Amino acid sequence: SARTQRVLASDPRFVYEGRFDHSDPNAPVVIWQASRVRLDFEGDAIDLLFDKPKGQCFFNAQVDGSTKIVEVREGSPPLGSTISGLGPGRHHLVLFKRSEADAGTARFRGASLPPGAQAWRPAPIPYRLRMEFIGDSITAGACNEDGQEDQWEDRRTHNAALSYAALTAAAFNADHRN
C-alpha cells in the first residue's frame, strides 16, 4: 500500500514568521502568539505534526480560507491536527498560534501528505511594513472570545488572530511580531 509522505519541519518549503526556538531545526518550538507557519501542498488531506507540548496551545489552521482550531495539550494527543476533504489541486496552509506564550509551547515536527502529493514554498507575501507589538493580555488577544466573563483555564477562547495587533497589521499589510 502507498504510504503517506512526511515534510520535515526543517524543509525549506515551510515559511516561518514570528517567534520560534529554532535550536532544533527538525522540531522548532512554537512559542509566541501570532507566530505563523505556511506551506503550499496538494492532496485531499494534511496531517500537522507536533510533539512535547507544555501547557496548552491552540492554533488556527487555515487552508484555502477555511479555518479549523488545532488543540495541542500536554499529556494528550493533538486534536484537529488532521485536515481532510480538501479536494484535488494546490492548497495553501497558514498555521497561526492563537494562544499566548505563557499558556504553552509545542514543537512543530512538520506535516504528512497523501502518497504522491507535492509541497511547495508559498509565494512571498509582499508586506509593505514590519510591526512589533509589545503589550499585555489585550495585545495577545487574551479572553477575547470569552463572552461576559474572562476565563483563564481553557485558552481555546484566547485568539491572537482577533487581537488589535493582528488586525492592525493586516490593515496595513504588515508582517508583525506580537
Give the gyration radius of the chain's Cα atoms. Answer: 16
Residue 110 binned pLDDT confidence (cut-offs 50, 70, 90): very high
Residue 71 binned pLDDT confidence (cut-offs 50, 70, 90): very high
Give the model confidence (pLDDT) of 28-64 as tens digits.
999 999 999 999 999 999 999 999 999 999 999 999 9
Sign of CA dihedral 148, 169, 64, 38: negative
d(CA 147, CA 63): 27
Does pLDDT of 1 surpass 60?
A: no
Mean of pLDDT values over 7-22? 97
Report yes or no: 120 and 40 within 8 Å, Cβ to Cβ.
yes
Q: Position 125: which residue type? A: I
Predicted pLDDT at 165: 96
Does pLDDT of 178 surpass 80?
A: yes
